[in-house]
Amino acid sequence: MNEPYSYSPFNSFNRFENLDGIETKIVNHLISSDSKHAKMFWKLLKYNDIYALSQPELTKAEKLELVYNDNGEMTSKRVFFQPFVNDAWQEQCCSVYIFVSDIFPFDQGRANIDVTVETVVHTKICAIAGDGDPILNPEANPNDSDEQGNIIVAYKNRATVLLKCILAELNGLFLDGIGYLQFNHRNGLKGQVQMPMWINHSYYGHATTFTMALSGISDSSKIGY
């Protein structure tokens, strides 16, 4: 007979040991990445003017300053490990919220983890100038100009650009020691982008749900160490 409150002697179970490192590892990647989408991501968060994409790239220190990690003042921060739930938030900026949202266990040892990224934009800074000039921006999307080099996408929606950056940068990303983030409806039923109706109607944006498999099997909560 099992002792009271003991673990099953017949099967090992998923202890989700790496669950609490997901959000931080995603932000660490965004900080260290040198891709054009990561650069655009941080520019959109720091610069609120219409020419945000043509502003200087952020340093690592500047990026870290935008991450809320000390439970202190929030108004100067732009990246949070929580849902967008602050009804008193009035900043005319865009901000990002990264958090574990759902867990779907297949059996005692395997589960899919849903990670949601909310990208929130104030309505008064929604328009930004495009970055399609190949002379000014060597990494410009060729579809933003015609064959003669004339710019045909002169302005963009800040929320859509931010969404593109998140999808391009995080889809298929391997989080060391955890697994791959996937934006894939076959891998997770909630793998999609939605536009939530937040209580504060001064903001709009998207909630993007990625899914990743997570398994950390152990026959006790000691996880083998």
**pLDDT per residue over 112-121, tens digit each?**
999 999 999 9
- pLDDT computed for residue 191 by the predictor: 81
Positive or negative CA dihedral for 191, 192, 198, 203?
A: positive
For position 160, what pLDDT does the model report?
97
Q: Is the pLDDT of residue 1 over 60?
A: no
223 pLDDT tier (thresholds 50, 70, 90): low
Residue 201 maps to a domain? yes
Residue 145 lies in a domain: no
The DSSP H or E segment spanning 97 is strand 94-105
* pLDDT of 4 higher than 50: yes
Q: Does residue 207 register a pLDDT over 60?
A: yes
Q: What is the pLDDT of residues 155-181, one digit of tens each?
A: 999 999 999 999 999 999 999 878 899
Distance CA(132)–CA(129), nearest Å, equals 9
Confidence label for 219 from pLDDT (cuts 50, 70 and 90): low
Residue keyed to tokens 């000390």: 70
Residue 217: which region, alpha, beta or left (left: phi > 0; alpha: psi -120 to 50)?
Answer: beta
Q: Examine residue 142 and state whether it is found in any structural domain, yes or no.
A: no
- 20 contacts 26 by C-beta, under 8 angstroms: no
Lookup result for tokens 């490990």: 81
pLDDT at res. 214: 82
Report which of residues 1 and 123 the model is more confident about: 123
Rounded mean pLDDT of 67-82? Answer: 94
Query: Does residue 12 fall inside a structural domain?
Result: no
Is 148 inside any structural domain? Answer: no
Structural domains counted in the chain: 1
Instruction: Note the pTM of the prediction, 2 decimals.
Output: 0.90
Q: Residue 173's pLDDT is what?
A: 95
Per the domain annotation, does 9 fall within a domain?
no
Q: What CATH number is associated with residue 196?
A: 3.30.2000
Whether the predicted pLDDT of 220 surpasses 60 = no
Domain of 210, in residue numbers: 36-67+77-123+158-217
Q: Which pLDDT belongs to residue 3?
A: 59
Confidence band (pLDDT; 50, 70, 90) for 32? Answer: very high
In a domain, 182, yes or no: yes
- CA-nearest of 49, 213, 30, 53 to 140 is 53
Assess if residue 14 is contained within a domain.
Answer: no
